[in-house]
Structure 1
Amino acid sequence: MSGLAVLIRKSHKFTEKRLILFTAFVTLTILLAYYQLFYSPNIHPQPQYNISTVNQTNDNCKRKNLTTAVEERNCSVKIKLPDFYKHHSQKMQMFFLETSGRPFLKGRQVCSVESAAIQSGLISKVIMRSSYLDLSKRKSFCDLFHNYKNVQFYTINYEELFRNTPVEGITGRLDRVAGGHKFTHYSDLGRLAILYKYGGYYMDLDVIVTKDMRPLNTFLVIEMHQTTRPDMQCRIPWGSLLEFHTLFNGVFRFPVGHEFLYRYMELANKTYDPTSTNRHQVGPQFAYQVAKRMYKTGLTNRILDKGNPKREMALIPDYTFMPVVHHQAKSILWSADPKTPQQWEDVFRCAYSVHFYSHYNDHRKVSGDPSKDAYSFLGPTHCPKAFSHYKTEF
């Protein structure tokens, strides 16, 4: 019996060792997967860009030979952009759309993308209507291109983007739009199609991102008349907001094939009127109409159809991305009364980003004094390279 007992004890010890080794192996495998997902340099494979010279050069950028690599910070080149296709799609991606056709981003737009690159934890994909970039147009834009490996640029064909979606064939009507809102409507519908096909986050180009956005699942932001004030933990109870009438379409996250995006595009295709001068005819109030029809319930801050991945959607309060509502932007973001750092922190403490409403405020100057305007308070921390050019490019 004593021999049998010794054999059993040895067997237990051997089993324990195997269990420890197995646990260590599983732990290392998980850690390696986590590293590859968030930290591996291969997570940001760069598009293949073709380079050509620009006729004019910036004063501070020397002309270099055509064979110069993009990484050598040549600001005097045009970059031919690759088309965005499915194989460019990645996990944890955020899309920005530039639909005007400019081959560059303006200073405040550069700030938006740079802040996302620094703060969001996501891969930022800037989808240009232009087929090329001109790095000579803005120093801040050249800095953005060369300094952030998690920022990628692509062009896209909107007819191809809309193919196999409910807005297939709508480009003819978009091109005839009245009131000068063609690019707005391309953006409003393009953001739906690109997330419907590829999934991810969408963000407007007039924000400053201030927090890691990865914890947020499928969501849309409620737009209230007055900004909602949360508790000190940045929370308000689910279902506590009165019913609203607008859903903000400037930032959201959806998985591939979500039904809300499909229904949004489906209704847009039925109702879109190119003779209308309504800038927002497929904008935030339209998003609210779609949600009401789809979910057939009063809308407040809550999770709709929880557990159904193709229909689930969290409606989250406005302070998460609009800590200042649009009609208060002038009086708060460009304050007549100087603000202390603590006062600014109180305004922005619960926000993942700050929306600046470029349609109303692009003409307002950035002072460089952090007590006078929000750009000057947030810029040096959240988009430092872009903000270093605020005097000439903001």
Structure 2
Amino acid sequence: MLKASRIIIIFMSITTCTFLYRLAFKMDCFLCVPLPFRKPPSIDDVLRPGTGIIFLETSDCLEPRPLVSCALESAARIYPDRPVVFLMKGLVNHTKEEINSTHKAFTLLSSIGNVFMFPLNMEKLLNDTPLLPWYVKVNHTGEKHWLHISADASRLAMIWKYGGMYMDTDIISIRRIAVDDFVAAQHSTYSSNGIFSFKFHHKFILDCMENFVEKYNRSIWGYQGPDLFTRILRKRCKLPVFPEKEDGMCQNISFLNLQRFYPIGYPSWKRYYEVWKINPTFKDSYALHLWNYMNSEAKSVIPRSNTLVEHLYKIYCPTTYKVLINSTEEELMEVGGSRQ
């Protein structure tokens, strides 16, 4: 009798738990399904776990260039489990809805599930960081390299406040990065600041922000960027010369071999826009920096050109290639045909 009673009690408990679970599930679905009525996530909601991948646009540009779109799409594909955040200064005075209706690249990026776009308000971003007193005093219009300097400051503040990984918008991701708390060698004994990753409130980022303000020099390009990272690293350790393909360490920070992101150095940046007999596999690289700052000739991806950069677009950002590159070529051909 006692055994039978226990069986009945267990059965009723399971039945009750199942009912409550289903009820909770239905209530949750009821609350979550009507997407248009949900409050859009804030940047704090998206980046709170510290796993975000962050990109910046410090100009007023609202139509991301194909390379920018490729950078974000490739990151979103390589890291589907991580939020990819794009902060755009131009969004401060515009709504996403009015941009979506006229900007093809913006619409493309908005459709990617783990890509989020937010306005870049520098004063708000730099609040509660050592950079704010510098920002409110500096003459923005009188700065020769302001776009780069403001980007250098913003990336430090973002990683300080949220943790995660920062990437320049001319970097194409090709495989997952296997380490945390890293900076990337641009060449031996010299660091870039184009890609790096740190935990929330890491001491290295704090040191960089303090040195940024203390040693501020508006006249030298990169002085608040790669020069800054290199200065702070050299205070911590002797930076390694890379004889092979191993990574180095600087105290608790990984100093990644230049092959990880810069297998083609800046003097040879045009190689990306050339046809190779055999395309490289970049088997020792996590991502590829395309040196857009050097690209004063505005070289771009040309459909069916068989260049290395077209090959990379097709593999790592196929939607960008299809929508922004190949479709443009097809539209031009259609227009040309209609005029004949």
Counterpart selection for 1:257 from 182, 192, 201: 201
Correspondence list, 1:271-282, <5 A? 271-273=215-217, 276-282=218-224
Asked if the contact 2:58/2:120 (under 8 Å) is kept, the reply is no
2-side partners of 1:204 and 1:298: how far apart?
A: 23
2-side partners of 1:104 and 1:326: how far apart?
A: 26
Q: 1:173 to 1:136 in 2, by over 3 A?
A: farther
Counterpart selection for 1:99 from 50, 58, 68: 58
Correspondence list, 1:28-47, <5 A? none
SS at match of 1:166: coil
Counterpart selection for 1:356 from 281, 284, 290: 290
Q: 1:158 to 1:374 in 2, by over 3 A?
A: same
Partner of 1:90: 49
Identity of aligned residues (%): 22
**Alpha-carbon deviation of 1:123?**
1.7
Q: Which deviations, in whole Å up to 9, do the C-alpha atoms of 1:70-108 show, x marking residues without a partner?
A: 9xxxxxxxxxx9763367423421011111122332222
Amino acid at match of 2:315: T
Gaps of 5+ in 2: 1-28, 242-246, 330-340
Partner of 1:339: 276
Structure 1 or 2: larger helix share?
2
Partner of 1:381: 315
Q: 1:82 to 1:186 in 2, by over 3 A?
A: farther
Q: 1:188 to 1:376 in 2, by over 3 A?
A: same
Partner of 1:313: 253
Amino acid at match of 1:303: M
Asked if the contact 1:174/1:182 (under 8 Å) is kept, the reply is no
Asked if the contact 1:98/1:128 (under 8 Å) is kept, the reply is yes
1-side partners of 2:198 and 2:41: how far apart?
A: 24
Q: Which deviations, in whole Å up to 9, do the C-alpha atoms of 1:322-375 show, x marking residues without a partner?
A: 121111111x2122xx324xx3234x222111111111126013222363x222
Amino acid at match of 1:314: S
Q: Which deviations, in whole Å up to 9, do the C-alpha atoms of 1:19-53 show, x marking residues without a partner?
A: xxxxxxxxxxxxxxxxxxxxxxx9xx9xx9xxxxx
* 1:142 to 2:102 alignment: no
* 1:324 to 2:287 alignment: no
Asked if the contact 2:47/2:83 (under 8 Å) is kept, the reply is no
Aligned length: 282
Partner of 1:117: 76
* 1:390 to 2:325 alignment: yes
Q: 1:108 to 1:137 in 2, by over 3 A?
A: farther
SS at match of 2:279: helix
2-side partners of 1:192 and 1:125: how far apart?
A: 15
Partner of 2:225: 283
* 1:188 to 2:152 alignment: yes
Partner of 2:302: 367
2-side partners of 1:251 and 1:111: how far apart?
A: 16
**Alpha-carbon deviation of 1:277?**
3.2
Partner of 1:220: 183
Q: Which deviations, in whole Å up to 9, do the C-alpha atoms of 1:255-283 show, x marking residues without a partner?
A: 0111111111101111214xx33221201
2-side partners of 1:223 and 1:88: how far apart?
A: 28
Asked if the contact 2:50/2:199 (under 8 Å) is kept, the reply is no
**Alpha-carbon deviation of 1:166?**
1.7
SS at match of 2:140: coil
The root-mean-square deviation of aligned C-alpha atoms, in Å, is 2.7
Correspondence list, 1:227-246, <5 A? 244=189, 246=190
Gaps of 5+ in 1: 1-41, 49-68, 71-80, 225-242, 306-311
2-side partners of 1:220 and 1:367: how far apart?
A: 33
Partner of 2:12: none
Asked if the contact 2:47/2:162 (under 8 Å) is kept, the reply is no
SS at match of 2:157: helix
Partner of 1:297: 238
Amino acid at match of 1:286: L
**Alpha-carbon deviation of 1:137?**
4.0
Asked if the contact 1:249/1:283 (under 8 Å) is kept, the reply is yes
Q: 1:102 to 1:174 in 2, by over 3 A?
A: farther
**Alpha-carbon deviation of 1:173?**
4.5
Amino acid at match of 1:339: W
TM-score (norm 2): 0.75
Q: 1:177 to 1:291 in 2, by over 3 A?
A: farther
Q: Which deviations, in whole Å up to 9, do the C-alpha atoms of 1:156-180 show, x marking residues without a partner?
A: 4322222222212222345436454
Asked if the contact 1:217/1:253 (under 8 Å) is kept, the reply is yes
